[in-house]
């Protein structure tokens, strides 16, 4: 799908969401937005809501990381100078940052981690039907 078509589809999903927030039925949304069925209108609204939730989650993550950075700055010198309590707090902040950023992969999932190059190879293998090791 071209960028223009993607943008138009996203705009139409946004319009569908606005209509739903205003109380329109899925049948009305389908008619006003040009969807073929009420189920398609429902899917559009659901996708628009998911997009909004993703954006909100990203904003909250950014805010939380900023707060953690501020706390870390306040403790860094004391931790660096050997204050054991400050070191413990710094480590807790670092653990929280890693959790928010998804840096800590559970041990049982390490065999599923694939590098970007490995992903490209897997796609090439799947599309060509040949072994591309």
pLDDT value at residue 117: 54
pLDDT value at residue 133: 43
Of 7, 17, 11, residue with least CA distance to 48: 17
3-state SS class at 23: coil
3-state SS class at 72: helix
3-state percent helix, strand, coil for the chain, nearest multiple of 5: 80, 0, 20
Residue segments in the chain with a per-residue pLDDT below the cut of 70: 106-133
pTM above 0.85, yes or no: no
Q: 8-24, pLDDT tens digit by residue?
A: 999 999 999 999 999 99
- Interior/surface letters 62-72, b for 16+ CB within 10 angstroms, e for the rest: eeeeeebeeeb
Task: Give domain limits for the chain.
Answer: 3-128
């Amino acid at each position: 799908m071209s960028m223009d078509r993607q943008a138009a589809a996203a705009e139409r999903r946004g319009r569908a969401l606005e209509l739903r927030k205003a109380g329109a039925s899925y049948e009305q949304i389908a008619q006003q937005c040009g969807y073929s069925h009420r189920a398609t209108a429902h899917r559009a609204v659901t996708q628009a809501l998911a997009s909004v939730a993703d954006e909100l989650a990203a904003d909250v993550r950014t805010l939380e990381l900023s707060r953690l950075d501020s706390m870390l700055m306040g403790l860094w010198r004391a931790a660096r100078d050997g204050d054991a309590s400050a070191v413990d707090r710094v480590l807790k902040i670092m653990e929280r940052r890693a959790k928010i950023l998804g840096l800590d992969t559970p041990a049982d999932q390490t065999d599923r981690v694939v590098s970007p190059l490995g992903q490209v190879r897997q796609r090439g293998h799947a599309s060509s039907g040949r072994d591309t090791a």
